[in-house]
Amino acid sequence: MKHLRRTIVILLLLTATTFAQNRPPVTPPEIRQAIADGNIAWGKARVSLDTKTFEQYLAPDFYVQLPDRKITRQEFIDHISKLPPGVTLTRFDAFPLTIEHKDDTWVAIIEEKLEATRKMEDGTVSKLYTLSITRDGWKKTSEGKWIVLFSEQVGVERWQGDPPPIPGW
């Protein structure tokens, strides 16, 4: 009976190993969709200031590279978790424009469209718009969860008042 149990366990392990080895690799369209879905969830979290989601999506050693400095994971979370008084983030749409495989990371060029309102002291409301392009590194963990390893700001432009002269705005 012991030998039969051991044989069954060994067969199950061999079957699982063979299945894992024969599983087709993830395709670029599947990667693009995973990154797009991650950015949709991230956008919702940004608008609602959902720090739990921020924590889930950012790798432990995540960083943001700006033109003039590097920001740690915690500095970034602290920064995006609080808005200035009178400011409300009303839109954060992020979409992968390109994806590229580098080692065990997928690097995506992301278009981010942000909209916010600012209530002025006199009671008027001003609309704020930001278009940002980032280069983000994504990786699928051994648990099957996608996380962001880094984000590098490639370019940013801001407008106030009228919507930007950008298609789709």
Given a cut of 90, is residue 104 above it in pLDDT?
no
Given a cut of 50, is residue 31 above it in pLDDT?
yes
Convert 44-113 into a string of H (helix), E (strand) and C (coil): HHHHHCCHHHHHHHEEEEEEEECCCCEEEHHHHHHHHCCCCCCEEEEEEEEEEEEEEEECCEEEEEEEEE
Query: What is the model's pLDDT at position 152?
Result: 98
Taking residues 19-48, report their average pLDDT. 84
Per the rule left: phi > 0, alpha: psi between -120 and 50, beta: everything else, 168 is left
Taking residues 98-125, report their average pLDDT. 95
Q: pLDDT tens-digit profile of 75-100?
A: 999 999 999 999 999 999 999 999 99
Higher local confidence (pLDDT), 9 or 40: 40
Domain residue limits, the chain: 26-160
Beta-carbon contacts of residue 55 (< 8 Å; ≥ 6 apart): 77
Closest CA to 116 of 93, 89, 94, 92: 89
Predicted TM-score (pTM) of the model is 0.81
Given a cut of 80, is residue 13 above it in pLDDT?
no
Query: What is the model's pLDDT at position 3?
Result: 53
On average, the pLDDT of the chain sits at 88
Q: What's the CA gap between 88 and 118, in Å, rounded?
A: 7
Taking residues 42-67, report their average pLDDT. 97
Q: pLDDT tens-digit profile of 35-47?
A: 999 999 999 999 9
Label the pairing between strands 58-65 and 146-160.
parallel
Query: What is the model's pLDDT at position 25?
Result: 62
Q: What is the CATH number of domain 26-160?
A: 3.10.450.50
Given a cut of 50, is residue 21 above it in pLDDT?
no
Q: Output phi, psi for 50, to 5 deg.
A: -85, 90
Query: What is the model's pLDDT at position 103?
Result: 87
Taken in order 24, 25, 31, 37, the sign of the CA dihedral is: positive
